[in-house]
Amino acid sequence: MITIAKTFEFCASHRLFREEWSEEQNHNVYGKCANPNGHGHNYRLEVIVGGEIDSVTGMVMDASRLDDIVQQHLFSHVDHRDLNRDVPWLRGKVPTVEVLTEAFWDRLEQPIADAGSGAQLQKLILHETSKIFATKTRPRG
């Protein structure tokens, strides 16, 4: 198997808080990220897909098809949005970088598998800032 990676960028805002907690408890757990007005990030997402190289095209997956999948199934929902309020499939979740990575995997895994190239999503890396990121990797076997 060989992998290819593509990097994407998007902007979004969020607030880390739990509705059932008091403002004080939210602040104690999430600090300034619990600000009632939220805050924004310029996220960077690395999408790594893997499979066999097609003998005709020489590609594991057409990169423009990967662009289309990420745009349709992910960025059309999250780019320049409030992740707490504007994204139905994130409602009720605390949009930490870890939770977002898991949710993004769930949005992308099947469409990539269905693209017809035989490629599978192997790894996602979501950078919230230059200092913090989360990674999800396909289990072996």
The catalytic site residues sit at 33, 80, 128
Question: Cβ distance 137 to 125 under 8 Å?
Answer: no
Contact call for residues 38 and 14 (beta carbons, < 8 A)? yes
